[in-house]
Amino acid sequence: MNKKSMFRAVIALAVGLLATAAHAVGFITADAALAGGLVPMALGEVDFGSLKELLQKQGETFEEFKKTNDARLQAKADGKSVEGFEAKLSKISEELSKIGDIKSEFDTLMKKLNRPGATGDVDPAKAEHKAAFGKFIRKGADDGLGELQQRAYNITTDADGGYAVPEELDRDILELMRDISPMREVSNVIVVGGSDYKKLANKGGTTGGWVDEDDPRAATDPSQLAILTPFMGEVYAYPQATQQMLDDVFFNAEQFIEGECAQTFAEKEGAAFTTGDGLKKPKGFLAYATAATADGARAFGTLQHIVSGAAADWAAANPQDKLLDVVYALKKGYRTNARWMTSKTMLGEVRKLKDVDGNYIWRPGLEAGQPDTLLGYGISENEDMPAKAANALSIAFGDFKRGYTIVDRIGTRILRDPYTNKPFVGFYVTKRVGGFLADSNAIKLFKFSA
């Protein structure tokens, strides 16, 4: 597919998704969604009027949210019931989240236009391997597939009969996982050829100082280096299809496997990168030790937490100040690329908070490509973040690219299984992946505790 064709396809997909989702939210009719207002009339010409309408709707919804919340606060101060206001706020907050999801999907699809690998010459050996792999998926015919795999990628066949998926399919699975997983989107991701990956980290401690020309110099202590290794594990997915589906020439078997595996891998990995214990899986950043002490006073590899000021809840007075403490606990060098991470439920609570001047600290992004912000920083929704509870680390803030590293071992393998669950054909797909905390000063945690 050339770049023009890809541009057209992605734009059509993006605006189609926007139209469908916009109609689902309820601010555009089904006829308008289908009639052409969102459909590109010519290559590269897209009517973004409905995108502007979406952003306008978000602004109007947030104004309604603020008005309702202000009324709730006044009723609470007057000793009146706030149950009705709480229910209405919950509904409006859900509406804001839906609009945010549509914006995120649209931005993700548009970014695909700029990703590498969409064009370029095709390696004949890899193209031949891909064609043979397609026959293996549909018919189970693997004659010569091992030799083609060796020629294309210099990879031998697994002893258990599994084969490496073609490079293009492997890359597409990883790209889909990045779009689905909030941790993959914000963390540092590297690809390695083997499992023996190590990273050196400088813990600090090198002696230095200022001297005159003739002053004696103290012996320089060597740098204190720590060796960081990822906690690796093997994640698998087991999508199944009928042979009749595989025989259908209109059924895209590779796309089916790609989508099923990306969804399963992303869900399993997302939980591991966030809270995983490191046993046969990556170690999540929330699984590391935490302390209330500032940078320089904590042990290497220990994250700093800032307490809310109340057991299992927000502080009674000025709870937003504690979130400001989280921001300024992070050094300036990390704040440049910092963002928040929390669940949708917690985000609904944060939307109600105001600063001392009565301004809401959460604000919607009212321009195309502009994210919603909390205290001026972007937000990543991660449903694997803990709910509000005693001692829960429910909110994180930091530069995740410097703070957390995901390690993908190159090569996803697949084993075709037509026997275990007849009449279905199963595809046992596995990949090796790891994760670890790379810089414990780059991420701060908000802890619900007194």
The CA distances from residue 134 to 87, 141, 169, 257, 307, in Å, are 52, 9, 11, 11, 54
| Class of residue 246 by CB neighbours under 10 A (exposed 0-12, middle 13-18, buried 19+) | middle
> Residue 301: which region, alpha, beta or left (left: phi > 0; alpha: psi -120 to 50)?
left
- The DSSP letter of residue 161 is S
pTM across the whole model: 0.74
Give the closest residue to 314 by CA, choosing from 338, 348, 282: 348
* Residue 315 near residue 282 (C-beta atoms within 8 A): no
Handedness of CA 80, 83, 86, 91 (dihedral sign): negative
C-alpha to C-alpha distance for 206 and 220, rounded to whole angstroms: 7
Within 8 A by CB and 6+ apart from 291, the residues are 298, 299, 302, 303, 304, 305
C-alpha to C-alpha distance for 34 and 51, rounded to whole angstroms: 15
The amino acid sitting at 25 is: V
C-alpha to C-alpha distance for 391 and 385, rounded to whole angstroms: 13
C-alpha to C-alpha distance for 426 and 314, rounded to whole angstroms: 49
Beta bridge partners of 398: 339, 443
**37, HSE (Cβ side, Cα atoms, 13 Å):** 17
The total number of residues shown for the chain amounts to 450
C-alpha to C-alpha distance for 24 and 18, rounded to whole angstroms: 10
C-alpha to C-alpha distance for 17 and 270, rounded to whole angstroms: 24
Report the CATH number of the 165-206+220-343+382-450 domain: 3.30.2400.10
Give the closest residue to 442 by CA, choosing from 342, 308, 332: 332
Within 8 A by CB and 6+ apart from 99, the residues are 25, 54, 57, 58, 61, 364
Q: Is 192 helix (H, G, I), strand (E, B) or coil?
A: strand
User: In tens digits, what is the pLDDT along the chain, a chain of 450 residues?
Assistant: 444 444 444 444 444 544 444 444 444 433 433 333 333 333 333 345 566 777 788 888 888 888 888 888 888 888 888 888 888 888 888 888 877 777 666 666 655 555 554 444 567 877 888 888 888 888 888 887 888 777 777 666 665 557 788 877 887 888 788 778 899 999 999 988 776 788 877 776 556 678 877 787 766 566 677 888 899 999 999 999 998 899 887 888 888 998 899 999 999 999 999 999 999 999 999 999 999 999 989 999 999 999 999 999 999 889 999 999 999 999 999 999 999 999 999 999 999 999 989 999 999 876 656 778 999 999 999 999 999 999 999 999 999 999 999 999 878 889 999 999 888 999 999 999 999 999 999 999 999 998
**Could you report the per-residue pLDDT of 271-300, keeping only the tens digit for each?**
999 999 999 999 999 999 999 999 989 999
* Residue 10 near residue 113 (C-beta atoms within 8 A): yes
Token representation of residue 32: 């308008």
Task: Supply the Cα-derived Rg of the chain in whole angstroms.
Answer: 26
> Domain spans of the chain?
3-114, 165-206+220-343+382-450
Within 8 A by CB and 6+ apart from 436, the residues are 228, 229, 230, 231, 282, 283, 404, 405, 407
C-alpha to C-alpha distance for 258 and 369, rounded to whole angstroms: 28
